[in-house]
């Protein structure tokens, strides 16, 4: 852990928590930072995960929902794809199959 410099900030970030029992995702908590004025919960991603078995394909499919409902502006449209990739990466880190 370290203090950040005033000019350092994440363009996107993701927090993921998964409860897996019996090889099935029973509960999922997914949130994103850096894309709005406050962190966003990502209920569409969570819904895509619950009841499924962890797999690389699942992580990619669920991450496609990361920007559902987003309304990007002209100069931050690039964050839509960046957010999807960030969420998928964190799902792979937390859920396995990096």
pLDDT of residue 36: 80
Asked whether the whole model's pTM tops 0.85, one would answer yes
Whether the predicted pLDDT of 3 surpasses 70: no
Higher pLDDT, 65 or 75: 65
Phi, psi of 92, deg, nearest 5: -65, -40
For residue range 8-66, what is the model confidence (pLDDT) as tens digits? Answer: 678 899 999 999 999 999 999 999 998 888 899 999 999 999 999 999 999 999 999 99
Domains of the chain: 13-95 (3.30.390.50)
Whether the predicted pLDDT of 70 surpasses 90: no
pLDDT of residue 64: 97
Q: Would you state the structure tokens that stand for residue 33, as one six-digit string?
A: 């930072």
pLDDT of residue 16: 97
Higher pLDDT, 52 or 5: 52
Handedness of CA 52, 57, 63, 65 (dihedral sign): negative
CA–CA gap between residue 60 and residue 97 (Å, rounded): 11
pLDDT of residue 72: 87
């Amino acid at each position: 852990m370290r203090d950040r410099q005033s000019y350092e900030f994440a363009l996107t970030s993701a927090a993921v928590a998964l409860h897996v029992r019996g090889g099935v995702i029973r509960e999922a908590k997914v949130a994103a930072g850096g894309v709005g004025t406050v962190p966003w919960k990502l209920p569409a991603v969570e819904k895509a995960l619950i009841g499924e078995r962890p797999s690389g394909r699942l992580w990619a499919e669920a991450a496609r929902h990361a920007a559902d409902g987003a309304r990007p502006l002209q100069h931050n449209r690039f964050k839509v794809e960046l957010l999807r990739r960030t969420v998928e990466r964190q799902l792979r880190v937390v859920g396995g199959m990096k």
